[in-house]
């Protein structure tokens, strides 16, 4: 599956918010909340081949199991005849709190390693500059 940089940022922010809320409302034990996240600093495997482009992401908290469920569905809006037997493209994952925190750390490092965003249009800036649409195509 492929996921946009903005979706990774939003998912990471939502996970951070969820962990803060779990701590504040005491919906998870201190042992669960203080578990050290696993550090993943291995390079991404290339080439990245996508089966589908993520469109809709849902997050649910299961307090009885102390896990976060995440579902990522294809961005394709229409149901194709081929999908009637198998359903739409969908990934379902169940994460413990330390895995959620690990995702946030990894997402932050990957997102920050990318090209900086233009302060005017928010598009990525090449090392050679870029043609900014908000500045009528002038180089920034």
pLDDT (tens digit, 9 = 90+) per residue, 103-136?
999 999 988 888 888 888 878 888 787 888 887 7
Lowest model confidence (mean pLDDT) among 23-27, 39-43, 76-80, 128-132? 76-80
Residue 129 in domain: no
| Order of strands, sheet of 67-74, starting from the edge strand that comes earlier in the sequence | 54-62, 67-74, 90-95
Q: For residue 48, is pLDDT > 80?
A: no
Peptide bond into 47 cis (omega under 30): yes
Q: What is the mean pLDDT of residues 72-97?
A: 77
Residue 92 in domain: yes
Name the 3-class secondary structure at 81: coil
Question: In residues, how long is the chain?
Answer: 140
Q: CA angle, corner 16, sides to 93 and 121, nearest 5? A: 100
Average predicted confidence (pLDDT) for the chain: 86
State what percent of residues in the chain have pLDDT above 90: 41
Greater confidence (139 vs 35) lies with 35
137, burial (CB in 10 Å: exposed 0-12, middle 13-18, buried 19+) = exposed
Residue 31 in domain: yes
Domains: count for the chain: 1
Q: For residue 82, is pLDDT > 70?
A: no
Residue 135 in domain: no
Predicted confidence at residue 47, as pLDDT, reads 79
Boundaries of domain holding 22: 5-115
Residue 134 in domain: no
Residue 127 in domain: no
Tell me the range of 35-39, 80-84, 104-108 where mean pLDDT is highest: 104-108
Q: How far apart are CA 19 and CA 13, in angstroms?
A: 10
Residue 128 in domain: no
Residue 96 in domain: yes
Predicted confidence at residue 67, as pLDDT, reads 96
């Amino acid at each position: 599956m492929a996921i946009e940089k903005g979706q990774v940022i939003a998912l990471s922010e939502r996970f951070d918010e969820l962990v803060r809320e779990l701590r504040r409302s005491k919906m998870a034990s201190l042992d669960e909340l203080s578990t050290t996240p696993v550090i993943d600093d291995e390079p991404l495997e290339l080439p990245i081949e996508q089966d589908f482009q993520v469109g809709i992401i849902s997050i649910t908290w299961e307090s009885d199991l102390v896990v976060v469920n995440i579902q990522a569905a294809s961005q394709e809006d229409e149901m194709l005849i081929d999908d009637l037997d198998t359903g739409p493209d969908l990934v379902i994952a169940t994460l413990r709190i330390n895995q959620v925190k690990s995702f946030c750390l990894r997402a932050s490092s990957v997102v920050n390693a990318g090209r900086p965003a233009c302060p005017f249009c928010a598009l990525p800036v090449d090392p050679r500059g870029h043609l900014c649409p908000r500045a009528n195509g002038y180089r920034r």
